[in-house]
Amino acid sequence: MTKLNGMRVLVTRPAHQAENLCRLITEYGGIAVRFPTLAMLECDNLLAIQKTLSNLEAFDGLIFISANAVNFALKANGGKIPRFKSLKIAAIGKATANALAMAELCVDLLPENNYNSEALLALPEMQYIQGQKLLIVRGIGGREELANTLRDRGADVHYLNIYKRITPSINNAEVIALLEQNKLDVITATSGETLHNLLIMLGVAHHERLFTLPLVVVSDRIKQIAVELGFKRIVVANSPSDEAILATVNQNNRGIA
């Protein structure tokens, strides 16, 4: 991989998830501009969450949507999630699986590629689930496709909303100054919500400048959201990993379409 040669890369990941990507950008000669456009907070219904987590034996399967879902569940339950041999655990992606492994929980189902709900639903083990009682651990307001498809296949699906997403209140002056001076080279975004919040946090007056910058996203679904919002130069990384995002950012040296 070639050096980034001082490229300024806007990192919109939540602050607690941005460190590794920012470190990689710096190591490869770029400048990471930290501007978290999403933050997570624990939900208020702590007792209800703890009650559900203490009765996991009532379920046949447990699906964690993200590493945040794992970590907030651990935080809510004193750092532990009970283990039951009869309970199958599914993770959407590698980061989620790694968080479960750190909690000493065995992951039974993990998509090999395309770490999203569609990839999980495509696994053979998810085809014949008539009568199974499943619990999806997620943040408030997540996508409904996973639960709806599982219900269509005959499963009894429940949600455990473990955290909520908010738009951070942070100073936008540095990013606006870089935009106005044409000193931002590329934007990275790992969800549609981060893009929506980016536009809100920087204001309508700066949208046209944002739309003309190269944008690196981590899925075709997010690319479609970006197109609908007005971004014009979008490329999809091979995976959601920080390494894949960095490699795609590096393409800007050769010109992102």
**Measured distance CA(85)–CA(26) in Å, rounded:** 44
pLDDT for the residue numbered 86: 82
Find out whether 84 and 56 touch, Cβ atoms under 8 Å.
yes
The stretch 58-73 carries a mean pLDDT of 94
DSSP code for 125: G
Residue found under tokens 């929506």: 196
Percent of the chain with pLDDT over 70: 97
Domain 8-38+170-253 adopts which CATH fold?
Rossmann fold (3.40.50)
| Number of neighbouring beta carbons within 10 Å of residue 195 | 24
pLDDT for the residue numbered 1: 59
Alpha helix (H) ranges present in the chain?
19-27, 46-53, 67-76, 94-102, 117-121, 145-152, 173-180, 192-202, 207-212, 220-229, 242-250
Q: What tens digit of pLDDT does each residue of 210-230 get?
A: 999 999 999 999 999 999 999
Q: What tens digit of pLDDT does each residue of 76-119 get?
A: 998 888 877 788 999 998 889 999 999 999 899 998 877 788 88
Residue 12 has pLDDT above 80, yes or no: yes
pLDDT for the residue numbered 114: 72
Find out whether 233 and 213 touch, Cβ atoms under 8 Å.
yes
Domain with CATH 3.40.50.10090 in the chain: 8-38+170-253, 41-165
Quick one: which of 141, 237, 184, 222 has its CA closest to 11?
Answer: 184
**Measured distance CA(231)–CA(207) in Å, rounded:** 9
Q: What tens digit of pLDDT does each residue of 155-182 get?
A: 999 999 999 999 999 999 999 999 999 9
**Measured distance CA(242)–CA(158) in Å, rounded:** 31
pLDDT for the residue numbered 253: 59
Starting at the edge strand found earlier in the chain, the sheet holding 31-34 runs 31-34, 8-11, 186-188, 214-217, 233-236
41-165 in CATH: which number? 3.40.50.10090
Residue 243 has pLDDT above 60, yes or no: yes
pTM (two decimals): 0.85
DSSP-based three-state secondary structure for 39 = strand
